[in-house]
Amino acid sequence: MIQSIRRELNGTAYVAGRVSKYADGKQWGFPDLIDAAKGAQDFTSTVDVNNDSFLAPNSMIGAVKQFCEKSGQAVPGTVGEIMQCVYLSLSMCYAEAVKTLIRLTGKTYTSINIVGGGCQDMYLNEMTAVTTGLPVYAELVEGTAIGNFIVQMISGGEFESLQQARDAVRESFEIREVTVQ
């Protein structure tokens, strides 16, 4: 959702052949979107990020606004409000996913590990820690590649155990911990 909104704000067609009506000539980077969201932290409307209306809309911004309107919530009017709505919604989705995992597995989870490109979004990681009440470990931008490499090393006998492989990853890469303040 965040990437789609950024593309749309920058005038990049979200759907081939459709030009964004929200582009204002400014080039929005992810830090700009985070700053905008932080400036609208009092905005509390949320969307169900798993709703089909967000799978491939003509406009992600329009889909967010429409969902808020249809659900009787305040409709975001600024980039900051749109982004705050999305960030809050994503963090709430993560919290619900953790609850579902606990219910399905009967296990208690003590942290959340975020890997891949999303681990770089510390604002989302902070909101997730607050919303879930769990520490978030942001690690491994290239998590898929590193994970595949580790599996091959385990298979090849380079590591004697999964724990040894995990220890090697922790020693080799920066892992940022976000805890509830």
The pLDDT of residue 15 is above 90: no
> What contacts 132, CB < 8 A, 6 or more positions away?
91, 94, 95, 98, 112
pLDDT at 13: 57
The pLDDT of residue 20 is above 70: no
pLDDT at 69: 98
pLDDT at 166: 85
Q: What is the mean pLDDT of residues 108-113?
A: 92
- pLDDT tens digits, one per residue of 125-181: 999 999 999 999 988 777 788 888 889 999 999 999 989 998 898 888 888 888 876
Q: Which CATH architecture has domain 1-106?
A: 2-Layer Sandwich (3.30)
Backbone φ, ψ for residue 180 (5° rounding):
-70, 130
What is the pairing mode between strands 175-178 and 136-139? antiparallel
> What contacts 169, CB < 8 A, 6 or more positions away?
139, 140, 146, 150
Residue-range domain boundaries for the chain: 1-106, 110-181
Contact 1, 90 (CB under 8 A): yes
Least Cα distance to 54 among 94, 22, 14 occurs for: 14
pTM for the model stands at: 0.84
- pLDDT tens digits, one per residue of 55-91: 999 899 999 999 999 999 999 999 999 999 999 999 9
- pLDDT tens digits, one per residue of 84-101: 999 999 999 999 999 999
The pLDDT of residue 41 is above 80: yes
